[in-house]
Structure 1
Amino acid sequence: MLMYPQINPVALQLGPIAVHWYGLTYLVGFALFYFLGTRRLRHEPFRSLAGPQAWSRKDVEDILFLGVMGTIIGGRLGYCLFYKPGFYLTHPLEIFFVWQGGMSFHGGLLGVIGSMVYFAHSRSRRFWQVMDFVAPCVPTGLAAGRVGNFINGELWGRFCSPDLPWGMVFPQSGSMQPRHPSQIYQFLLEGLLLFTILWLYARKDRRERRVSAVFLIGYGLMRFIAEYFREPDDFLGLLALNMSMGQWLCVPMIVFGVWLYASARPARAAMPARG
């Protein structure tokens, strides 16, 4: 049994300005996305596209900028709508109090999808080609975020057996009983394992939509499993069928991912550039 090390969430204090580890993990995630995105340009079909449909570092930079905006806006709005709609309907100004915490992956995903719709339209690219490019570069950012959750000592797991060697006591949970370090489970599953699967799968030219489908199925399944070890939000608890909100939000991801994979067809010819 281990004791949570009580890490100071503030990495650096510069007078009145506090730099938090959680914010730094977001920056690490975005940096990893850019690094992997430039490597993704070497994969098919992106490497072979020429003319108006050719991909470049500028595309990666624009996708990153739009993705950051979609992640932050969608993640915050998703948390407010999915997890505490009643509270934020009566306290709408607190939606903007992002420093108080509260981000949703599923909301962030919807925000990123919206930003990629804009990118695809503005560049006359097929939406699913863009999403297939992006998908393998995302899990490392998710892994970085889970490191931030662990440093903050938040999103701890459910109670576990005292005999579990890596069971951890989180004093901030209000209990001195050992719990699953669910942040680490999610770091390993949704982060490293999903990245490895997706990166290896996407290295070969696949039917359009299938890389995106593998991401949706893979993340949905791994998050669904991890939720069995994660303490449900105290203001929600377990919902129907003893499933958490996170699990219920994963169900449509998995179903849509399966449909997307099965319905994938060979890519059409490149769209002509707009005149």
Structure 2
Amino acid sequence: MERKYWVPALEKANDILLLISEHPAELKLIDLSKQLEINKSSMFTLLNTMEALQWVVREKDSTYSLGSKLGAWGNAFFKQFSLIDRFRKEAAVTKQTLLETIQLAKLEQQEVLYLAKEEMPSPVRIASEPGKKLPAHATALGKAMLAWLDHTEFGALYAEEALTPSLTQHTLRSREELLRDLASVRETGCAFDREEAVMGFCCVAAPIRDGDGRVVAAISCSMFKHEWEQKRELAKQEICALAKRLSQS
């Protein structure tokens, strides 16, 4: 990996965590300092910060163990794969009901990252392969997740009034338009994309929530525009029901 933008303090923190993970409740500050060749002053600052962040715990004998925050992250890491597995099982049924492709994605800053999809055979392949990203404001998936950000989080992502890029002539172009759309999402519980990402395709999406009620992902169903009026209500019902099944109550 290119080290041009490397952060040495993060590398040191990583080395500390690795060493503690190999010797939990065995090493004190002086031991960590010697083994990693980090001076005691820097080690004290790093450990103090990591303890405050709950990355590490200082035991009664002044040795260190991994903190609860890392456990939570580990659970979150494995849950994402559990979600994909559950999505494939549940969406396989929904796609047969709708005879349309179902997609799973999560929000990454101003983009949606596609995680998985259950695809119906079609002469036109939807460009939503796992790993692909699209601007959140142009997709139903993105709007289904953006709608539940608090004011501060949303403002940090969309500080400017203009929205870019525009993928089609129907893509939302202003922050004000997006806010109006998101208010509707919160009211109805689902989001729509009417040829905003791809001309000729419409989409409905709904959010997936974790056990604390936080939106962690979203699912969607995409279809040709000429099928939209006929299937829109059924797609909305099925996608909302699927999102509810995938959410952790």
More helix by share: 1
More strand by share: 2
Q: Which has the larger radius of gyration?
A: 2
TM normalised by structure 1 equals 0.26
Higher relative contact order (CA 8 A, sep 6+): 1
TM normalised by structure 2 equals 0.28
